[in-house]
Homo-oligomer: A and B are copies of this chain.
Amino acid sequence: MRMSLMRLARRLRSEPSSHGLSLTQVATLATLDLHGPLTPRELAVREQVQPPSMTRILAGLEERDLVTRTRHAGDGRRHVIALTEVATDLLREDRLRHDAWLALRLAELTEGEADVLRAAGSLLDRLTAHEAGVPGAAQA
């Protein structure tokens, strides 16, 4: 099934995203939405990218005023990344739009099959989170 996954991943990546953000950028926003403010390193671990990649991802988000960056209180090396109101609005809108796309696809499935996919979502997260050493990762 990994071939299926790659094909689906390509499809999702090329899905028209009205806001012009990459999927990893949206995923990063979603993670912040779920867990609250985090440091770049924590985000890199959770999104399973290297720190320099997260730097670039955050630069793009900051440029669009989707995240704010503040100094960590007790440790001057760390930055704390938080969502702006614009970002939470975008996430809500994005979810609605995507739900519409998914709904179209899921309409072709039976009830039971849809349940299978929903269940698979959380399982996939448990599998990937396991190796990254993130205990409480949840599904988006």
Please measure, in the bound complex, the distance between the C-alpha atom of A119 and the C-alpha atom of B4, giving whole angstroms: 12
Interface of A is mostly: helix
Chain B residues lying within 8 Å of A24, measured Cβ to Cβ, are 6
Task: Choose among B3, B117, B140 the residue that contacts A120 (Cβ–Cβ < 8 A).
Answer: B117
Counting every copy of the chain, the complex holds 2
- The CA of A27 and the CA of B127, in the complex, are separated in Å by 22
Q: Please state if A27 and B8 are interface contacts (CB–CB under 8 Å).
A: no
* With A48-B11, A117-B120: A2-B98 Cβ-Cβ less than 8 Å: yes
Residue total for A at the interface (Cβ-Cβ under 8 A)? 44
Q: Is A93 interfacial (CB 8 A cutoff)? A: no
Can you name 8 A-B pairs with beta carbons within 8 Å?
A1-B117, A1-B140, A3-B27, A5-B8, A6-B24, A7-B27, A116-B116, A116-B120
Residues of A within 8 A of B (CB): 1-13, 23-24, 26-27, 30-31, 47-49, 98, 105, 108-109, 113, 116-128, 130-131, 139-140
